[in-house]
Amino acid sequence: MFTLILKRMAIGFVTICAVSIIIFLGTKVLPGDAAQIRLGQEATPENLAALRERLGLDLPMWQQYWNWLNAFVHGDLGKSLAGDAPVNELIADRYKNTLIVSVLTAAVGVPISLILGITAAMFPGSSYDRVLTLVTVSLVAAPEFFTATLLVLIFVFWLGIGNAVVIGSIDGKSFWELIQHFALPIGVMCLIVASQLIRMTRAAVLNVMSSPYIEMAILKGLSRQRIILRHAVPNAVGPIVNIIALNLAYLVTGVIVVEIFFAYSGLATLIVQGVQTRDFVVVQAVGMLFCAAYVVLMLIADIAAILSNPRLRHPK
């Protein structure tokens, strides 16, 4: 068990290192010059050269990468190329919105999705199952901005509920006040998460239902509800946990469209602004945080799957 966890951690470490190289090289091939954007079109070549030297942009690429990675490992995310503001402070001002929306979406969307997926597996082929499958497939096919536009049209313009633009401080708000404050972003992300989680939960439970011990339980005359809740679901925990981890990783890293659409300040809008201003330091820092969050969530999912399924501890 301990050896398997160490292997997963080693794989996660290698993944983060590989992603750091990809992010660094990816920001370097983007067109534009941070010094030129900061000083404007009227800047002289001497001023541009002096600013590039001060920002370290004139160093060899391998040296820039090493300086950035070394500082990142020690908790120093650097200074913004657009205004010399510490990136740590920029992230500290925005991470709460992204984190709160992700946590609230998980708290609301994941339990509901699991319940709907399990109940769909209880009645496969029924009208309820067919309608739920049609809805989830439609949600999977619909892009985030379309779903967000549809919810804004229905709730804001037709029913007069909620706000199309999320503004205001979140400090001092209770749980329900936070849900009301981020109602539409949470609604959009819950629909996105549910579209995947419901289908995959249903598939995981039905896959376990084909096992021999389930057939024996059916022959003994046990009700389908008891078979699923007492025997199938506990043995489908491993795949379901992995599905939940993937969706939670999406909540952390895939909220760019939702944040931009509802214009609330989070990490996703920060990384978009970094791309617009060629602020590579911000893009690299936020990208690495997203990668680290994804790797940690997948590590937790792997550990949970190993604990729930003894067969994974002995692959041979």
Question: What is the rounded CA–CA span in Å between residue 206 and residue 300?
Answer: 24
Question: What is the rounded CA–CA span in Å between residue 128 and residue 202?
Answer: 13
- In the chain, how long is the greatest CA-to-CA distance? 86
Structure tokens that stand for 59 in this block: 């160093």
pLDDT at 316 over 60: no
- pLDDT of res. 247: 78
Question: What is the rounded CA–CA span in Å between residue 82 and residue 72?
Answer: 19
Average pLDDT over the chain reads 79
55 and 35 in contact (C-beta within 8 Å)?
yes
Confidence of residue 98 (pLDDT cuts 50, 70, 90): confident
Q: What is the pLDDT of residues 102-141, one digit of tens each?
A: 888 888 888 998 889 888 888 888 888 899 889 888 888 8
- pLDDT of res. 32: 65
- pLDDT of res. 236: 76
In angstroms, how far is CA 146 from the centroid of its own chain? 19
166 and 100 in contact (C-beta within 8 Å)?
no
| pLDDT (mean) for 179-195 | 82
Q: What is the pLDDT of residues 189-245, one digit of tens each?
A: 888 888 888 888 888 888 888 788 888 888 888 887 788 778 777 777 777 777 787
166 and 263 in contact (C-beta within 8 Å)?
yes
**In which residue are the tokens 């209880």 written?**
122
What the chain holds in terms of domains, given with CATH numbers, is 92-277 (1.10.3720.10)
In angstroms, what is the C-alpha Rg of the chain?
24
| pLDDT (mean) for 161-183 | 70
- pLDDT of res. 242: 77
Q: What is the pTM of this model?
A: 0.74
> Residue 311's closest CA among 244, 238, 243?
238
pLDDT at 315 over 60: no
Question: What is the rounded CA–CA span in Å between residue 188 and residue 180?
Answer: 13
- pLDDT of res. 36: 65
